Amino acid sequence: MAVPFATANVLEDPELRDRIKQFTSWPTIPKLHVKGEIVGGCDIITEMSQSGELARVLAKTGIKTAAPARAGTRSGALIRPSGPAARPGE
């Protein structure tokens, strides 16, 4: 399944960085949004990936992932995107 995705380097654009913090009411960057909903910041996503929770959250939205990581590994529920990337908010 192709998973369209988009990225934005908010560290290079102070205005975008401030707006994304205001929009999400979440002060830290980076963060993961799935289908318009914030899932969490890097530390939370890492823990969710290692526990298998991220794969379950993504599965609920119809996104298939690779097998979740085992405790103590660095790899996780990897999304293998392909196809055109969507712009944020579309």
C-alpha to C-alpha distance for 77 and 68, rounded to whole angstroms: 5
The CATH number assigned to the domain holding 31 equals: 3.40.30.10
Assigned domain for 53 exists: yes
Residue 88 has pLDDT above 70, yes or no: no
Higher pLDDT, 55 or 88: 55
Assigned domain for 89 exists: no
User: pLDDT at position 54, please?
Assistant: 92
Range of the domain at 1: 1-83
Contact 31, 18 (CB under 8 A): no
Q: Is the overall model pTM greater than 0.85, yes or no?
A: no
Assigned domain for 41 exists: yes
Residue 77 has pLDDT above 60, yes or no: no
C-alpha to C-alpha distance for 87 and 4, rounded to whole angstroms: 9
Confidence class of residue 15 from pLDDT cuts 50, 70 and 90? Answer: very high
User: pLDDT at position 50, please?
Assistant: 93
